[in-house]
Homo-oligomer: A and B are copies of this chain.
Amino acid sequence: MAGKEAKGADGGAKGGSNKGKKKEVKKETGLGLTNKKDENFGEWYSEEFFDAEIKKMKIKNCYFPLFVSPGVLEKEKDHVEGFAPEVAWVTKSGKSDLEVPIAIRPTSETAMYPYYSKWIRGHRDLPLRLNQWCNVVRWEFSNPTPFIRSREFLWQEGHTAFATKEEADAEVLDILELYRRIYEEFLAVPVIKGKKSELEKFAGGLYTTTVEAFIPNTGRGIQGATSHCLGQNFAKMFEINFENEKGEKAMVWQNSWAYTTRTIGVMIMVHGDDKGLVLPPKVAATQVIVIPVPYKDADTQGILDACAATVKTLSESGIRAEADFRDNYSPGWKYSHWEMKGIPLRIEIGPKDLANKQVRVVRRDNSAKSDIPMDSLVEKVREVLDEIQQSLFSVAKQKKETCIKVVKTWEEFLEALSQKKLILAPWCDEEEVEKSVKERTKGEMGAVKTLCSPFDQPELPEGTLCFASGKPAKKWSYWGRSY
């Protein structure tokens, strides 16, 4: 596994050993989330969707402790190698030293699986499917970036055990599809579904599937969320056995999968512009901001009343609307303020609007203005919000697709890289070749690695060669620098 890049607050790829990587960076003390999450993100809307969906799948919520004892943390060797350098340790309470330091969970495999071993006896105890919504801590060496790479982050982590590999395989993809829907349907961010390389898979697991996003401005990929099949490796270490239908002793097949508050960071990077945030309506805590535009000698009270009535009407229809009645700021100041906060739609009500029984609506995403008659307010606002949601997704998809560059040679690869492209290349699928690509591209910008091998594979004509090694290519794979 591949070291720091694959870990961090990484939407689920929870590990990787640090083999061969030594980076001397001065330790600094920083807070987990140095910037507080804006209250607009206090409601993590995709959580509601995801939680309802996994309940339909009979996955139950649970909660395990924040603290993990060194004994269990160190039980799975590859796994602990992947996490050890970034585990935060509590060594003191008050002014006293603890007899034995205790770790803060970087992920919960080792905290949960000793219980799985106790709870699972017979095949009737399977599948065991649990999920928890919690915080985890990974003490990054590099500077934390809010939402993208923070020392504390919030996530859900699912941990499931099955009698057969087939069931585990199927769940991996079911969950991955939910992650795709979170990105595409809620956050309006296009993603690519695929499989991680051996070098990039989860430490200690069998294989890792991923939804990968891409940030055109910086030309970097970003792992959106991952769904891992752990195989029977943890089952072996934690002795998670059961008696199967034939009365024989068998080992369970396990999955783990996670998505994090990193989703918020990806959304911000994909849609944000020079004026600030741009939030997709489905996940915006406030979808509509109503701003009174009083004029001298105009009926100010009438305007304020119309604003309040507008918020009331929208709220009663389930649209998340608020008014900004502050009298110490000008309408223009408020426009900028709410644009910066990314509110999808602004409604302005001035004397002319009042006279014409209409409101002025202004879209955050493209600044388009239109007038809506007050008597079709809800219907029209809903229409515009839907348009914004769709439009954000199709614009982002268009941008991403423009960035995809198919390359076949090392020279084309380097050129595409310098152009910040999302590179799709035929590959021999050999671990040593990926290592060599990383080695040859490392530098200030960071090394290039595989992002994923897409499930949706273009045709690979016989005789196609690997762009990096010149050996026969086995698959198409996306390559790039990443967050």
Q: Which residues of A contact B (CB under 8 A)?
A: 27-29, 31-34, 36-37, 39, 41-43, 60-69, 84-102, 104, 115, 122, 124-125, 130, 132, 134-135, 137, 139, 151-152, 154, 243, 285, 325-328
- Check if B124 sits within 8 Å of A29, measured CB to CB: no
Of B27, B39, B60, which contacts A130 at CB under 8 A? B39
Of B62, B69, B326, which contacts A31 at CB under 8 A? B69
Besides A29-B98, A125-B326, 16 new A-B residue pairs in contact (Cβ under 8 A), listed by A number: A27-B97, A29-B100, A36-B63, A39-B61, A39-B130, A41-B63, A42-B62, A85-B95, A86-B94, A89-B91, A89-B92, A89-B93, A92-B101, A93-B139, A94-B139, A134-B135
- Check if A90 sits within 8 Å of B89, measured CB to CB: yes
Complex CA distance for A86 and B328, rounded to whole angstroms? 44
Known: A94-B139, A124-B328. A36 touches B60 (CB 8 A): no
With a cutoff of 8 Å between Cβ atoms, the chain B residues found around residue A32 in the complex are: 65-67
With a cutoff of 8 Å between Cβ atoms, the chain B residues found around residue A104 in the complex are: 90
With a cutoff of 8 Å between Cβ atoms, the chain B residues found around residue A66 in the complex are: 32, 135, 137, 152
With a cutoff of 8 Å between Cβ atoms, the chain B residues found around residue A326 in the complex are: 122, 124-125
Measured CB to CB, the nearest residue on chain B to A55 is B43
Question: How many of these chains are in the complex?
Answer: 2
With a cutoff of 8 Å between Cβ atoms, the chain B residues found around residue A134 in the complex are: 135
With a cutoff of 8 Å between Cβ atoms, the chain B residues found around residue A124 in the complex are: 325-328
Complex CA distance for A85 and B95, rounded to whole angstroms? 7
Measured CB to CB, the nearest residue on chain B to A243 is B328
Min CB distance, A415 to chain B, in Å? 39
- Check if B89 sits within 8 Å of A62, measured CB to CB: no
Complex CA distance for A95 and B139, rounded to whole angstroms? 11
- Check if A28 sits within 8 Å of B91, measured CB to CB: no
- Check if A65 sits within 8 Å of B27, measured CB to CB: no
With a cutoff of 8 Å between Cβ atoms, the chain B residues found around residue A28 in the complex are: 99
Of B91, B285, B327, which contacts A60 at CB under 8 A? B285
List 10 A–B pairs whose Cβ atoms lie within 8 Å, in order of A's numbering: A42-B132, A43-B61, A65-B152, A85-B95, A86-B94, A87-B93, A88-B90, A90-B90, A134-B135, A243-B328
Min CB distance, A68 to chain B, in Å? 8
Of B84, B102, B137, which contacts A94 at CB under 8 A? B84
Complex CA distance for A67 and B139, rounded to whole angstroms? 12
Complex CA distance for A401 and B166, rounded to whole angstroms? 58
With a cutoff of 8 Å between Cβ atoms, the chain B residues found around residue A68 in the complex are: 31
- Check if A91 sits within 8 Å of B91, measured CB to CB: yes
Measured CB to CB, the nearest residue on chain B to A28 is B99
Of B42, B43, B92, B328, which contacts A122 at CB under 8 A? B328
- Check if A62 sits within 8 Å of B36, measured CB to CB: yes
Complex CA distance for A67 and B326, rounded to whole angstroms? 34
- Check if A85 sits within 8 Å of B94, measured CB to CB: yes
- Check if A63 sits within 8 Å of B37, measured CB to CB: yes
Known: A94-B84, A99-B28. A65 touches B33 (CB 8 A): yes
Measured CB to CB, the nearest residue on chain B to A128 is B39
With a cutoff of 8 Å between Cβ atoms, the chain B residues found around residue A151 in the complex are: 67
Of A130, A132, A325, A328, most buried by chain B (CB within 10 Å of CB) is A328
- Check if B152 sits within 8 Å of A67, measured CB to CB: yes
With a cutoff of 8 Å between Cβ atoms, the chain B residues found around residue A69 in the complex are: 31
Complex CA distance for A118 and B96, rounded to whole angstroms? 35
Complex CA distance for A356 and B132, rounded to whole angstroms? 43
Measured CB to CB, the nearest residue on chain B to A99 is B29
